[in-house]
Amino acid sequence: MVSAVLGGAMVLPVLAGCGGSTGGAAKPSTRNIDEIIVYNVCRDPGISDEALRAAGLDPATKSVFTDPPTGVSSFRVCRWDPLDERYGPTNYVAYVLSTSHTLQEARKKESATVLGETTVNGRPGLISKERSDPDGCYISFEAEQGMFEVRVTWLSEYESREGDVCEIAARHAQVLEPSLPK
């Protein structure tokens, strides 16, 4: 069960508020995603080789998917292959997504199915799957910039699929989280 993987955190519903209030009137928070420069998981400072190895990912297999060289980007995404079989068979890939989008937006995303709420080392998060990718699973967790997501998906339907991609993603997320900005 994913909840057991995340440091004993239970998968529970979370009630979300909307902004703070003063004198009985809610103050909506505004974010301009066109001004947010998200943390670069792909390069300096990036996720260190040591953190990747600790999470069971092979730094030598890094593949960059979205990483504009400078400036604003709503996503920066890299992927790595597993280093070994500590989380199951090695026929999957793990992506780390750094984004200005929020958990609230992820909950409302029409192309996704939210499987449950969770925490990753104390950070609020959720577990979801994209409807177009039934073989993959996302563990998303809160960050000041928006959120980070760890996505795991199987490479082949013809190879062993022992284990649950959501549990594998949760294990990677738990180990990688301390190396990512709050």
Could you tell me if residue 92 is inside a domain? yes
More confident residue, 101 or 157: 101
Could you tell me if residue 18 is inside a domain? no
Task: Kindly report, residue by residue over 85-139, the tens digit of the pLDDT.
Answer: 999 889 999 999 999 999 999 999 999 999 999 999 999 999 999 999 989 999 9
pLDDT of residue 71: 67
Query: What is each CA distance from 82 to 9, 47, 79, 86, 129, in whole angstroms?
Result: 24, 15, 10, 9, 20
26 beta partners: 21
Could you tell me if residue 116 is inside a domain? yes
> At residue 22, does pLDDT exceed 80?
no
> At residue 3, does pLDDT exceed 50?
no
Residues of the domain holding 165:
33-179
Cα dihedral value 128, 1, 179, 137, nearest 10 = -30
Tell me phi and psi for residue 108, to 5 degrees.
Answer: -95, -5
Question: Omega of the bond prior to 45 within 30 degrees of 0, cis?
Answer: yes
Q: What tokens were used for 105?
A: 């937006």
pLDDT of residue 27: 41
Tell me 34's DSSP state.
Answer: T
Q: What tokens were used for 89?
A: 């068979």
> At residue 170, does pLDDT exceed 60?
yes
Number of folded domains in the chain? 1
Query: What is each CA distance from 91 to 35, 99, 122, 162, 168, in whole angstroms?
Result: 38, 26, 30, 10, 12
Could you tell me if residue 11 is inside a domain? no
Could you tell me if residue 16 is inside a domain? no
Residues in the chain, overall count: 182
> At residue 32, does pLDDT exceed 80?
no
> At residue 10, does pLDDT exceed 60?
no
At position 25, the amino acid (one-letter code) is: A
| CA dist., res. 91 & res. 96, Å (int) | 17
At position 149, the amino acid (one-letter code) is: E
> At residue 7, does pLDDT exceed 60?
no
pLDDT of residue 5: 38
Q: What tokens were used for 77?
A: 């995404």
Query: What is each CA distance from 146 to 4, 50, 132, 133, in whole angstroms?
Result: 25, 25, 23, 23
pLDDT of residue 44: 74
pLDDT of residue 17: 34
Task: Kindly report, residue by residue over 36-86, the tens digit of the pLDDT.
Answer: 888 989 887 899 999 999 999 999 999 987 767 666 777 889 999 999 999
> At residue 8, does pLDDT exceed 60?
no
pTM: 0.80
| CA dist., res. 63 & res. 59, Å (int) | 10
Could you tell me if residue 5 is inside a domain? no
- Could you tell me the pLDDT band of residue 158, with boundaries at 50, 70 and 90? low
